[in-house]
Structure 1
Amino acid sequence: MKKGDYFLNTNKECDRLSFVQSGFLRIFFETEDKEVTQWISTKGYFVTDLSGFIFNQPARWTIQALTDVEIYTIRKSEYEKIKTIIPRWPELERLFIVRCFTTLEDRIFSHLSMTAEERYHFFFENNKELFNQVPLQYIASMLGMRPETFSRIRKKQLS
């Protein structure tokens, strides 16, 4: 995918699941007055609207490439066939779902237990490569901060 291309749009059918080999994709939704970034998918992560993909619901998220992206994609129909071809598939699927769940749990924990400065510092220490390649307002949104708060914390960290 090229930078700026859309992997998925809100309210559309989500019939694919992709593994990110390289690049960054932003998962977000829009309201009348703002965009909210839910996640930035990086190398080694899967990308989809999980509820849409698994339960055949319209997508809640828009997913857009922030850089040129190399992904490996499987369609829903192929995904269903894998279960009959690969005997260990239920185990692999469980590991994928557990990873999704623990990532979500970590995000919730950080939002409930850390200050904005602590969230910034923790995220920066674990995702330094994003800070030079992704617009900072997307990172701020993902961390649950207004851009002004994010900038103030960043300025303080850099000094």
Structure 2
Amino acid sequence: MDELVAFLGENGFTTDQQEAIGRQFHRRELKKGDLFLQEGQISQQLGFVEKGLFHYFCNRNGDEITSYTAGPGDFLVSLSSFLRQRPARETIRALTDSVVWAIHKRGFDQLRRDAPPFEAFYVGVLEEQIVCIEDSRFNLLTLTAEERYQKLLEEEPNLLQEVPLQYLASILGVTPRHLSRIRGHIR
């Protein structure tokens, strides 16, 4: 919980607010391969990753299509499912043994109602997610696969060491074979 409390402190919450918010979260340990959320389920939890790596994916015609990865300091949630209480369109799976601090939807909604600083924080997190989604969409539409890989090298080089090739390829919108060619060309 230390990482979650530190994260809250870095985002302007007082010690009392950090403790009150922290009490709403519970620790979840996930082993490599465990699911945080299954496609089709309604998301009832939002998680803060203390340790580990996750990927978001959907199954289409027997293929896993990875859309996103999350690591320490990131939040885990299928936003549309969590906010609208609709079936999730993606699965969130642990790629490594992981520790997540999760809050149930009821506790989350209560914090939003009862703690104005939490509501403001929440809006900031949503804005950041919207910008990330927009950037990702823009990059997928306007950059070549090589340019997207180069951007990944520059902005998130740790992913190249931590995320299996087939998931990186999916995020970049190419096949693993094409990604191998790109990597060989750029080196």
Q: Is the TM-score greater than 0.5?
A: yes
With normalisation by structure 1, the TM-score equals 0.94
- When the two chains are superposed, the root-mean-square deviation of aligned CA atoms in Å is 1.1
Question: Equivalent residue for 1:115?
Answer: 144
**Deviations 1:16-75 (Å, cap 9, x if unpaired)?**
001112211010000123110010112222111101000010111101000111211100
State the distance in 2 between where 1:52 and 1:97 align. 14
- Determine whether 1:77 maps to 2:106: yes
One-letter code of the match for 1:114?
A: L
Larger CA Rg, structure 1 vs 2: 2
Paired residues in the alignment total 158
With normalisation by structure 2, the TM-score equals 0.81
Q: CA deviation at 1:112?
A: 1.6
One-letter code of the match for 1:29?
A: C
Residue 127 of structure 2, aligned match among 98, 106, 109: 98
Structure 1 unaligned regions, length at least 5: none
Given that 2:55 and 2:69 are in contact with CA atoms closer than 8 Å, whether structure 1 keeps it comes out as yes
Residue 62 of structure 1, aligned match among 91, 96, 101: 91
Residue 14 of structure 1, aligned match among 31, 43, 68: 43
Residue 179 of structure 2, aligned match among 109, 132, 150: 150
Question: Equivalent residue for 2:156?
Answer: 127
State the distance in 1 between where 2:71 and 2:162 align. 11
**Deviating 4+ runs (over 3 angstroms):** none
Q: CA deviation at 1:80?
A: 1.1
State the distance in 2 between where 1:94 and 1:55 align. 16
3-state secondary structure, aligned to 2:89: coil
3-state secondary structure, aligned to 1:43: coil
State the distance in 2 between where 1:84 and 1:48 align. 20
State the distance in 2 between where 1:30 and 1:84 align. 36
Question: Equivalent residue for 2:62?
Answer: 33
Given that 2:113 and 2:119 are in contact with CA atoms closer than 8 Å, whether structure 1 keeps it comes out as no
Structure 2 unaligned regions, length at least 5: 1-29
3-state secondary structure, aligned to 2:103: strand
State the distance in 2 between where 1:69 and 1:156 align. 34
> Among the aligned pairs, what percent are the same residue?
35
Given that 2:111 and 2:119 are in contact with CA atoms closer than 8 Å, whether structure 1 keeps it comes out as no
